[in-house]
Structure 1
Amino acid sequence: MTSNSQFLFCAAGIFISYFYFGILQEKVTRGKYLIETVDENGEAKVINEKFTYALSLVFIACFVNYLFAKGILYAKPQGEDKTPKNYYISCSLTYLLAMVCSNMALQWVPYPTQVVGKSAKPIPVMLLGVLVGRKVYTVKKYIFVLLIVIGVVLFMFKDKSGQSQIDTGFGLGELLLILSLTMDGLTGAIQERMRAETKPSAQQMMLSMNFWSSIMLALALLTTGETLKFLDFVSRHPTVLLNMSLLALTGAIGQLFIFLMVSEFGPLPCSVVTTTRKFFTVLASVILFQNPLLPRQWLGAVLVFTALFLDAFYGKSAPKKK
């Protein structure tokens, strides 16, 4: 398989896996969990419980990812992974902190703000890759990535009733988004270090990162006491286990493709693919269901496609270590 074919294969795997992952995540986190209860007057009523067990959900996903990678390495043994443990521990910590900050930000900012904010992910990945990962990118690469980010922001930015849904103020939610982006950048920088120094395989990176992530999440679950509440919820709604199992499986497959891309092409191309995934999902929905686009969104679409085309043909020069 050629380099371009391998890149397209990994990108397709990420797109398809996380498309179904998003659907299943919606079912789990926003599904209807009806339960019969009795009010103060003794009358029976039905209420819809909310799924609020984010730590448990992420722990199950990380643990299944660990088992998935363990199974692959058992079936196809590879050489010893000589990557220092502190790299994996640091990478797992920044990865988890990025997710926590991003999810917590939704308590103070609307979802469109979070989507637009996270669309800038390639920028900190590139900058911290230079500062921490000791990479040098061409000026063309900076321009192409910036065009992609601007295009995604223009496309995802939505107006409602003549007013922007994006909060122009700066508060705790925006601070959490900045912290999340910083953690994304640090994760990419550490992965660049690992890729340059010890060259672990995709399965080895997946195994070790999810091992340490599972330990950190297990400690968090014990500290918060969420485990018993989650088990109680599952006992009342056992069907949630099927969706969570499928969610963990699609997440494991998607994460394998992500680590394949990181190990072969680096964190920056991976962050560009994961950022544009949402753009292409929304664009496909627009085309299939014939939803009208604003002129600004057409401009964003043109910018993204132009930047991707230019990067594919003129931005392939491999970055060098300092």
Structure 2
Amino acid sequence: MSNRINQFINKKFLIYAFGIFFCYSYYGILQEKITRAKYGIKREVFTYSMSLVFVQCIINTLFALVQIFVVNRKSEGQVHDTTTHFFYGFSALSYLTAMVSSNRALQHVSYPTQVIAKSCKPIPVMIIGVFYARKRYSILKYFFVFMIVLGVGIFMYNPNKTSGAPIQQSRTFIGELLLLLSLTCDGFTGAFQDRMKSEHGTKPGHMMLWMNAWSSLILFVALTITGELWQFIDFVNRFPFVISFILQFSAMSAIGQLFIFLTITSFGPLACSLITTTRKFFTVLFSVILFGNSLSNQQWLGSGLVFLGLSLDMFYGKQPPIKKPLL
């Protein structure tokens, strides 16, 4: 009997792992295809990062509604959400700023660079946790984070950078600033989500629903004011085939989030972190193979240090942080 249960659990784990791998690997391929392709005779570039995130947030909102009112109601019944919209609104603002900045950075840096930089997400979360939430972390945690920082530094450092074309130098610098902004906002999003969970016990489905709903509202206002919405509509009218890519991109994001929630619920955050970290490495590999984003030996070394630091942190750095007593 126990063998059958173990076989079922292993099959379930493999299904969830495959779902995360497939959804986010395909998500990464579509993201690079949409944002870095040249369109039409004039070789136009897709520059509508806010619009792309807007569609993604709408699909995520609809998906979360189905999850809450169909799936969760059947399994757990309706759960009352006490989280204030103040938290949802500010976390949505930092969440969508991180996403838009990350997407826009792809206009200036390669996709592997974006993936490696975004792998540093634990760093701003940790820094803001220390100064904002007064948390303490173990020495091992600091060491693993240092390893990640060192790996990113090796990956990003280019000794011939000053000898390149000024325009390319400027583009790369802008891309790096956008990634830094994205990481900073990731840190604030993590801080808001921690408070929502600790003070209100916010469920993943409600968090996904209201963060994406608020993000959709904020983006709609921003798109209308800036005029990007009409430019985006004109672009997809001229290149209608891109609509299919955008809808697939958004669907992969929503389904991938579901698999992540299922993995955390069934097997815990450690198993989920193992899957997502491994997936990031293969995302870089697929980008190199499919889009010709070749990496130097130095960049492979930096990538290795980043993923090694993330992997060690998963296994040895997961002790819960301790809040410092107020003086």
TM-score (norm 1): 0.74
Alignment correspondent of 1:65: 60
Provide structure 2 residue ranges, at least 5 long, that are not aligned to the other structure. none
**Deviation of residue 141 (structure 1)?**
1.5
Alignment correspondent of 1:196: 198
The superposition leaves residues 147-167 of structure 1 with CA deviations (integer Å, 9 ceiling, x where unpaired) of 234335535767779979996
CA distance, structure 1, for counterparts of residue 245 and residue 199 of structure 2: 39
* Cα gap change, 1:284 to 1:24, in 2 (>3 Å): closer
Identity rate, percent: 51
Alignment correspondent of 2:125: 125
CA distance, structure 1, for counterparts of residue 194 and residue 15 of structure 2: 21
Alignment correspondent of 1:307: 309
CA distance, structure 1, for counterparts of residue 238 and residue 84 of structure 2: 43
Higher relative contact order (CA 8 A, sep 6+): 2
* Cα gap change, 1:204 to 1:232, in 2 (>3 Å): same
**Deviation of residue 123 (structure 1)?**
0.9
* Cα gap change, 1:30 to 1:280, in 2 (>3 Å): closer
CA distance, structure 1, for counterparts of residue 288 and residue 97 of structure 2: 33
Residue 94 of structure 2 is aligned to residue 94 of structure 1: yes
**Deviation of residue 217 (structure 1)?**
0.5
Q: Secondary structure at the match of 1:217?
A: helix
The superposition leaves residues 175-220 of structure 1 with CA deviations (integer Å, 9 ceiling, x where unpaired) of 5444332212111111111122222221111101000000000101
| Mapping 1:264-283, distance limit 5 Å | 265=269, 277-283=279-285
CA distance, structure 2, for counterparts of residue 252 and residue 13 of structure 1: 11
**Deviation of residue 12 (structure 1)?**
6.0
| Mapping 1:199-210, distance limit 5 Å | 199-210=201-212
The superposition leaves residues 270-321 of structure 1 with CA deviations (integer Å, 9 ceiling, x where unpaired) of 6x97677543433577799xx9986645644654465355434433322234
**Deviation of residue 133 (structure 1)?**
3.9
The superposition leaves residues 68-107 of structure 1 with CA deviations (integer Å, 9 ceiling, x where unpaired) of 0101111122411111211111111111222344455567
CA distance, structure 2, for counterparts of residue 242 and residue 298 of structure 1: 33
CA distance, structure 1, for counterparts of residue 18 and residue 289 of structure 2: 19
Q: Which moves more between the two structures, 130-139 or 56-65?
A: 130-139
Q: Identify which of 249, 252, 257 aligns with 1:250.
A: 252
CA distance, structure 1, for counterparts of residue 202 and residue 235 of structure 2: 39
CA distance, structure 2, for counterparts of residue 50 and residue 184 of structure 1: 27
CA distance, structure 1, for counterparts of residue 13 and residue 249 of structure 2: 24
TM-score (norm 2): 0.73
CA distance, structure 1, for counterparts of residue 50 and residue 84 of structure 2: 27
Provide structure 1 residue ranges, at least 5 long, that are not aligned to the other structure. 35-45
The superposition leaves residues 114-159 of structure 1 with CA deviations (integer Å, 9 ceiling, x where unpaired) of 5655443321111112333454322212212322343355357677
Q: Which moves more between the two structures, 158-167 or 233-242?
A: 158-167
Q: Which moves more between the two structures, 244-253 or 137-146?
A: 137-146
Q: Which moves more between the two structures, 94-103 or 123-132?
A: 94-103
Alignment correspondent of 2:51: 56
* Cα gap change, 1:262 to 1:313, in 2 (>3 Å): closer
Alignment correspondent of 2:84: 84
CA distance, structure 1, for counterparts of residue 24 and residue 284 of structure 2: 13
Which is richer in helix? 2
| Mapping 1:1-322, distance limit 5 Å | 13-34=19-40, 46-75=41-70, 76-77=72-73, 78-103=78-103, 110-111=109-110, 117-155=117-155, 175-257=177-259, 265=269, 277-283=279-285, 296-297=298-299, 299-300=301-302, 303-304=305-306, 306-308=308-310, 310-322=312-324
* Cα gap change, 1:278 to 1:122, in 2 (>3 Å): same
Q: Secondary structure at the match of 2:81?
A: coil
CA distance, structure 2, for counterparts of residue 302 and residue 30 of structure 1: 25
CA distance, structure 1, for counterparts of residue 26 and residue 93 of structure 2: 26
The superposition leaves residues 212-250 of structure 1 with CA deviations (integer Å, 9 ceiling, x where unpaired) of 000000101111222233223323322222111111100
Alignment correspondent of 1:41: none
* Cα gap change, 1:127 to 1:236, in 2 (>3 Å): same
CA RMSD in angstroms comes to 4.3
